[in-house]
Amino acid sequence: MYRNPVTLLCLVTLFFSNMATATTVFRCASEDGHISFSANGCLKGDTISHQTADNPKPGGNGPKTPISTQPLSSPSPAKDQLPAHHELAVVGAKEGACPNVLSGSERRTAVIHKKVIAGMTKEDVESALGKPDRIIENNNRARYYYVTQRKKHSRVISFDDAGCVADTESKYKKATP
């Protein structure tokens, strides 16, 4: 039936592994009340009793013990029973240096369409257009220069002291005949 001895050995090992979950040990109680457990026996003068040590599988086959014996908490009060003087707290609002003239969706749309709008941050501009070809900074004000590959179109984006877009310039170079 099983020609491969390794397969037969694995099956025998799996069969006997379920039987090896419990063993009998000696419970030794000395005259002074000290209790010890041993697999080899007890000392002379100790009271001996046999104890079955069992390590059940998780979930086991026996009766299930409840996870918690504490009673469930009472349900929360209805909305009409709550006090009326709750203040609203805005959580997760973006507080940047730039005035929030752009909503999040307007900002994302501008980045996707590679547009630069006043009120965007330097990070927004770099996300839309990539790293600038040249950066010039004077008195905490920065200018980003972007040039196309064939140098026919260039953009200059100016930032104010807070790092917000203040002005944009686009230049087209006319083809020479």
Task: From 13, 33, 51, give the residue that closes a domain.
Answer: 51
What would the pLDDT profile of 29-58 be if each residue is shown by its tens digit?
A: 988 888 888 888 888 888 888 877 776 666
Residue 82 has pLDDT above 60, yes or no: no
- Total number of domains in the chain: 2
Residue type, 46: D
Of residues 44 and 77, the one with the higher pLDDT is 44
Give residue 133's pLDDT. 92
**Among residues 107, 81, 77, which one has the least CA distance to residue 94?**
107
Least confident of 82-86, 112-116, 132-136: 82-86
Provide the domain limits for residue 42.
23-51
Query: Does the residue 13 lie in any domain?
Result: no
Of residues 107 and 80, the one with the higher pLDDT is 107
Non-local (6+) Cβ contacts of 101 within 8 A are 118, 119
Handedness of CA 119, 124, 130, 134 (dihedral sign): positive
What would the pLDDT profile of 117-140 be if each residue is shown by its tens digit?
A: 888 888 889 999 999 999 999 888
Run of H or E including 136: strand 134-138
Query: Does the residue 97 lie in any domain?
Result: no
Residue 90 has pLDDT above 70, yes or no: no
What would the pLDDT profile of 147-162 be if each residue is shown by its tens digit?
A: 887 777 888 999 888 8
Query: Does the residue 38 lie in any domain?
Result: yes
φ and ψ at 36, to 5 degrees? -140, 160
CB 50 within 8 A of CB 38: no
Of residues 14 and 114, the one with the higher pLDDT is 114
Mean residue pLDDT of the chain comes to: 77
Query: Does the residue 43 lie in any domain?
Result: yes
CATH number at residue 147: 3.30.1450.10
Query: Does the residue 57 lie in any domain?
Result: no
Q: Is the pTM of this model over 0.85?
A: no
Query: Does the residue 129 lie in any domain?
Result: yes
Give residue 27's pLDDT. 87
